[in-house]
Amino acid sequence: MTRILIVGTGRMAYHLAHAIVSCGLDLVGVAGRNAQAREQLARFVDRKALDLSRPLPEADLILLAVSDDAIREVSAMLPKGSAVVAHTAGAVGMDLLEGHTHHGVLWPIQSLGHGQPMDLRDVPMVIDAGDAHARAMLTGVAGKLSDVVLELPLDQRQRLHLAAVLTSNLTVWLVREGQRLLREQKLPTSLLTPLWRATAQRVAAFGPEQALTGPARRGDRQTIDHHLHLLENDEALRPVYALLSERIMRAFADEQA
């Protein structure tokens, strides 16, 4: 059985560690530079907490679930050997793992936040590999974690990462701003939750073209102008609202003619 070591103590490490244990793979331990964080994560998954400054157990695959900026530094701390060393970032290349003969990428396309461990079975898993051995190792592990596995080179991974940020991170920021407007009016933010949930379900079921509604889709400039008036003192949100509304109206101009 493939022996896996996770290096990292953040949200990616938390969800991956739980998924690895849950699907029956052999997690040999959790390593990290922060002693308190690695001890806590190790307790969650009932595995050993390991100090990167001390000898590490034998592993076939070492997953670096650390921030993008830390990949090169942490990779250099690992002993050189026969293990496949892979990072879990979508937007950076494998060159950060230089010095390790077998290296690659294992990236779940998912925003992994706080809360209960996520079942990754439905989460697409992207891999990339520097050689055939790493490819076989990562394909096998990814296939245990997820039902959807695809191999993509860096340029496509970066484009996919960009698309993921547009789809998730930027829309969540807009939800945050919508909730801020409600709080300013002493209204509960939960008023938007059914709308947010139903919109996501419609997008998943019918696609964004069919799911998109609202004044910009209809070409309702009177309502848009009124909204812009309400935002006249909001220097951050007003230009965003104006730009997005204009882009939507251009995209659906034929419907509005």
* Predicted local confidence at residue 5, as pLDDT: 98
Pair of tokens at residue 86: 């892979």
Q: Measured between alpha carbons, how far is 10 from 112 in angstroms, rounded to an integer?
A: 10
Mean pLDDT by 10 residues, the chain (257 residues): 95 95 95 93 94 93 96 94 96 94 97 85 96 97 97 97 94 96 97 95 94 95 97 96 96 78
- Which residue is listed with tokens 């379900």? 201
The answer to whether residues 109 and 90 touch, using CB atoms and an 8 Å cutoff, is: yes
* φ and ψ of 105, to 5 deg: -135, 140
The answer to whether residues 160 and 152 touch, using CB atoms and an 8 Å cutoff, is: yes
Q: Measured between alpha carbons, how far is 218 from 253 in angstroms, rounded to an integer?
A: 9
* Predicted local confidence at residue 256, as pLDDT: 66
Q: Measured between alpha carbons, how far is 97 from 86 in angstroms, rounded to an integer?
A: 8
Pair of tokens at residue 175: 């939800």
H helix intervals, the chain: 11-22, 35-45, 71-77, 132-145, 154-164, 171-184, 193-206, 208-211, 215-218, 221-230, 237-251, 253-256
* Predicted local confidence at residue 21, as pLDDT: 96
* Predicted local confidence at residue 28, as pLDDT: 97
* Predicted local confidence at residue 1, as pLDDT: 84
* Predicted local confidence at residue 4, as pLDDT: 98
Domains of the chain: 3-152 (3.40.50.720), 157-256 (1.10.1040.20)
Provide the 8-state DSSP code for 57: P
- Positive/negative CA dihedral, 60, 118, 73, 54: negative
The answer to whether residues 192 and 198 touch, using CB atoms and an 8 Å cutoff, is: no
